[in-house]
Homo-oligomer: A and B are copies of this chain.
Amino acid sequence: MKLLFKNIKGLVGAFDAPPGVRSGAEMDQLPVIEHAWLAVEDGIIADFGSMEDWPGISDWRGLEIEDADGKYILPGWVDSHTHLVYAASREQEFEDRIKGLTYQEIAARGGGILNSARKLADASEEELFESALKRADALIRFGTTAFEIKSGYGLTLETELKMLRVVRRLKEVLPVPVRATFLGMHAVPESYKTNPDAYVKHVIEDMLPAVADEGLADYVDAFLEDGYFSAAQTLELLRAATAYGMKGKVHVNQFTATGGVRTCVEAGALSVDHLEELIDDDIAALKGSSTMPVALPSCSFFLGIPYTPARRIIDAGLPLALASDNNPGSTPSGNMNLVVALACIKMKMTPAEAITAATINAAHALEIGSHAGSIHPGAPANMILTEKMPSLAYLPYAFGENHIERVYINGKVYEGA
């Protein structure tokens, strides 16, 4: 099957070979071919170029032609940080916060991560799979064509494995790349309240080997934060995971910055995520490292906490990736178009920087840059076709509506999982 897009107003993020991580000033230099063509063969990007240099069609057999006049084609979004598997939404806590309750009061009423954990314990694997599949399906329609999905609402061996088995099933049925992250250290469960170190020991000595044994996770994660897990505890996890070939993708600096970023970088973490608070040593630690900083602006938006200082990060010559943080507590949205819009409106990233962060760099935050995050010959044709737009900047500018006309997965119009 051959598919030819012609007269594309702008072909965005197209490269001759898979691009590496884009850092600093390079992030604003997103390639856009104006008035372009793009050929897809058997679901794989075959070739592309400017209409001016179009070789023409020698063989029309089995060829479908799509006129993309006035429209843009972008690589699909890569969402490198989600908590897509959960049992129930938590809008009651949202209402409680509006009414002025503090986090502590909400937690005392049974809210927070432990709320999700209680509900998850009661849900069957089948229920969890069905609801997560429905969410993933809705998000693919919004242009996300690769996901990372974390555990972390289990907090027992059995329930963490249940979550990760759901992610394994999602990997099997979803037509897009899915990466799994074991987040046993998301919160200290009630039963270990008085002895958090014993929980860390349990995670590392019991859960991690079991997860590795079933091959259920690609990465490990911990919530490195005052009142959750310390840098030392996180380091223990990262070191133990290395023995299983699993790198870290760590929640760090959401509310406080106390040097945890350096710990993660030195332990070879693949990414450090959140970074709403950032000290100069965090920047220094990231320089020259292969750890990707990841910002989650929808979380800042929803919680009303500071946005990750993207300009400081990029202007220091570092790369940055964007992800949704989709979860029922702090970020009940996985819409990556809104993530990109927030990055521009609130974090003063240019549209080119934000798109780079949500595609190329996000793919590197999941080690899938060879086949996701950009348009290059040999890559699966996982792409967004926009509606007619006056410019690429229109996408984040007109922030409240959906400008995606179609999403292509492996060269076919996506119509549901």
Contact = CB atoms under 8 A, between A and B. Distances in A.
Interface of A: 88-89, 91-92, 94-95, 98-100, 138, 142, 298, 301-302, 304, 332-335, 338, 344-346, 348-351, 390-391, 393-394, 396-402
Contacts of A100: 348
Contact of A350 (B92, B98, B301): B98
Contact of A393 (B92, B344, B349, B398): B92
Contacts of A298: 400
Contacts of A338: 400
A130 to B, nearest CB: 13
A332 B89 contact: no
A344 B301 CA distance: 12
Contacts of A88: 390
Nearest to A345: B302
Given A301-B345, A302-B345, A394-B89, A350 B399 contact: no
Contact of A400 (B89, B334, B351, B396): B334
B394 A95 contact: no
A302 B393 contact: no
A296 to B, nearest CB: 13
Contacts of A401: 138, 142, 333-335
A349 B97 CA distance: 11
Nearest to A392: B91
Contacts of A400: 298, 332-335, 338
Given A95-B351, A304-B345, A349-B98, A333 B138 contact: no
A91 B335 contact: no
Nearest to A351: B95
Nearest to A350: B98
A399 B332 contact: yes
B91 A394 contact: yes
Contacts of A142: 401
Contacts of A399: 302, 332-333
A400 B348 CA distance: 20
B346 A397 contact: no
Contact of A333 (B91, B92, B350, B398): B398
Contacts of A391: 91-92
A344 B398 contact: no
A115 to B, nearest CB: 14
A301 to B, nearest CB: 7
Nearest to A100: B348
